[in-house]
Structure 1
């Protein structure tokens, strides 16, 4: 009797248990999936070279970015798709190359050429995220306006010292007297190229941007968010509070050699007109050694200032208990020349202009690792989609970096591509393990008018264009075929999308 009752009771309990487990799974699975969703925080830093403590440059004071690198994967060979703000940022956000987007300059907003393009803000907005943009994210601030749940105006500021502002007012008055108007008036009224003011961080724009992001984190801590925070420094003018200048000594900055690579075509370079717009900079010819060191010092100060703002936002992320559930990306929109080759700014296909810092810290993946995998910035979009459990949009031309985050020894692509226009010419540059190969093409008839080959196995700089040397003929042929194959494939994709 007892045994029979026990068996019957056990059978009944097992049946109830099975039903209970089924119901539990039915209700808990969506919750489990929801708990796997991660917040996303992306730092955009303008004109940032991969010249930081975590990149082996110990003289640069960048403790907060270094700390982020120790909590994620540092990509040592990441490349932007065009070394100028608007195309680079649009390309990264859409996961598509400039040729696909048709954006090559500063005047073209994102959706002029492809009105319905899929972008990260649109993707995450349509997938239920709060989407927030602070500071300089897109070059055109209103790009993707309809897909941002929070898009405040960018705080205005260039200088903090009243004397700098007075000099701008004087320049503007003088220009108006000469009849200068419109855009030309703005250019004529640029102030000094640097400023070291004895002020607090909040005298400058980037601190205000950091505060916007911190306030938004406090409001959004219980919501799923995709947040972009764009810091302007170290973009010109090199203006930062005096204490960041005091982190460095002027004499520690070594003036680079002012010599173009032997045998390089002149259309590969620029006259760095962006810097020449500023007060005190010669309209032609090189800078003096004193000016060069002064600007190098200012650039380093601005890097440390931007690093401090990154630290403030990251500290709040930690304080709110959000760090363990947030993917953090930090990147620079392109590289920058600080007197190398006698040149300044960006606007070329050179290694110094196209190589960028990229750090990706994702919960559950490698920490404190460094990878030599070749990466394009179009890879960021598909990576974030995969890390948040989504399906990569068909429009994406990049490759997910998830395998590299699992194993930094993995490689996802054989080369990285960048490009830069010169009027009716387009330079396409292919970066492999040790080489940078560039073809300059006449856009109208597709004929190659110049080539470049640089050896970057040991240095970011190269003293000679090797493309005409017989011993490199086979290498040039191989790289040219790779570039041609890529271009033909890309052209087919663009045509299919039209």
Structure 2
């Protein structure tokens, strides 16, 4: 017979063990329920997109889908990327950190090659129980950070749809091999033209397929909280899009911009043309003709409208699935772009044209159809979607949440926005305040300022004079230099603390 005093102890032990097993299960169930009730996040990445859209008061560009999104949220008139180059800009956005913090300021370094543990947006939402999905060009290195994604299919790679284009490329490559040309000449032979206008369905080009992949994922994950990034390559070169998007425009409507560079600007401010020189038919030296300039401008506009249509398809599916009221939607461009302005092409500078980007946020329960003139940075996106989905903002983030502006777009936010771009061992740091853009070019070894720029953007995005040498601007330059140096000191301290 079991003594009576033993039984209660066994019951107590049993209850304790039961509690240890059951309570975590209840906790997990509650956590899962909280995740299920959380807002979804859908972010559109648009490559090389200038803030020239219908919603930005540029009537010559047809962008009805993006314009509709702007009418459903807040349009940021003065948003700035942290570097005008795909890889560092996208990594900066995904980490919420300035390029000096990520350590990545070139095109060739994936994030996870140099930092295995950095907190990124997909990792953050993966740890919170979200489905994390990446489609198209999200990171520049497409499968970067791949363990943080629940879904990351191989993106379609074909840039051209016209069989004649593809056949011409194949012939040039064959000829290059027959002639035993060097590596650079062979690579140039393998490049296609900078434009293509071909009669095809949207899925004839990769962005059409990317939209289709994203739509399929929405259908599959409609009952789960998701963090989805959809990256459209257009309007990046080549400006290749179905003919019907070219037909939206007339070639004559495009005006060749002034090729005159700003007076007094240092050589460090400018750049070679970037990737454009690598396309077949583009001269290796000298300016483009007016005819070629208009063709490229036409192709760029057609590519913008093509990308816009893909945004519309994904948004239509979000509506059809009745997910719109549960989803925060963000659309941004990774940097600006030059279309012959100053006689230059592509990005790769600290000029306003390269640093200024489109940004739209449409969030349930927040302001709709409003605009804000507040200065904001792309590093602010990570803390924004973190706070708006009920999460804590990681301490690693340099930006701050834009949620107050989504509630009151008329308030001020930041005194300035920062952008940077390297030239060899010299880094150009650029500060944009309400009116002026101030830039210092600093040598890495000596820390000496070797050149300065000051541009007045009161009335134009392409000022014609560098004011840095003007005696009447000396006090303003001193104040801006102090602000820029203070901002950089904070960054340097942050980097040392992280190490």
Same fold (TM over 0.5): yes
In structure 2, C-alpha distance between the alignment counterparts of 1:224 and 1:88, rounded to whole Å: 27
CA contact (8 A) 2:377 2:399 kept: yes
Q: How does 1:142-161 map to 2 (within 5 A)?
A: 142-161=143-162
Q: What's the counterpart of residue 185 of structure 1?
A: 186
Please provide the CA RMSD for this pair.
1.7
Offset of residue 496 of structure 1: 1.2
In structure 2, C-alpha distance between the alignment counterparts of 1:407 and 1:422, rounded to whole Å: 39
Offset of residue 413 of structure 1: 1.2
Offset of residue 349 of structure 1: 0.4
Q: How does 1:297-308 map to 2 (within 5 A)?
A: 297-308=298-309
Q: Which runs of 5+ in 1 are unaligned?
A: 1-25
TM-score (norm 2): 0.92
Q: What's the counterpart of residue 106 of structure 1?
A: 107
The verdict on how the C-alpha distance between 1:481 and 1:214 changes in structure 2, with shifts beyond 3 A counting, is: same
Offset of residue 178 of structure 1: 4.2
Q: What's the counterpart of residue 12 of structure 2?
A: none
User: For residues 336-385 of structure 1, what are the alpha-carbon distances to aligned partners after superposition, in whole Å with 9 as ceiling and x for unaligned?
Assistant: 00011011000000000010000000000000000011111000000000
Q: What's the counterpart of residue 66 of structure 1?
A: 67
Q: How does 1:64-463 map to 2 (within 5 A)?
A: 64-180=65-181, 185-463=186-464
Q: What's the counterpart of residue 13 of structure 2?
A: none
In structure 1, C-alpha distance between the alignment counterparts of 2:430 and 2:436, rounded to whole Å: 10
Offset of residue 188 of structure 1: 3.5
SS at match of 1:228: strand
In structure 2, C-alpha distance between the alignment counterparts of 1:439 and 1:106, rounded to whole Å: 22
In structure 2, C-alpha distance between the alignment counterparts of 1:169 and 1:181, rounded to whole Å: 17
Offset of residue 36 of structure 1: 4.9
Offset of residue 57 of structure 1: 0.2
Offset of residue 33 of structure 1: 5.0
Q: What's the counterpart of residue 20 of structure 1?
A: none
Q: What's the counterpart of residue 17 of structure 1?
A: none
In structure 1, C-alpha distance between the alignment counterparts of 2:184 and 2:146, rounded to whole Å: 25
CA contact (8 A) 2:36 2:224 kept: no
The verdict on how the C-alpha distance between 1:298 and 1:494 changes in structure 2, with shifts beyond 3 A counting, is: same
In structure 1, C-alpha distance between the alignment counterparts of 2:333 and 2:184, rounded to whole Å: 27
Q: Which runs of 5+ in 2 are unaligned?
A: 1-26
Q: What's the counterpart of residue 477 of structure 1?
A: 478
CA contact (8 A) 2:35 2:225 kept: no
CA contact (8 A) 1:336 1:344 kept: yes
SS at match of 2:431: strand
SS at match of 1:359: strand
SS at match of 2:93: helix
SS at match of 1:74: strand
TM-score (norm 1): 0.93
Offset of residue 199 of structure 1: 1.2
CA contact (8 A) 1:36 1:388 kept: no
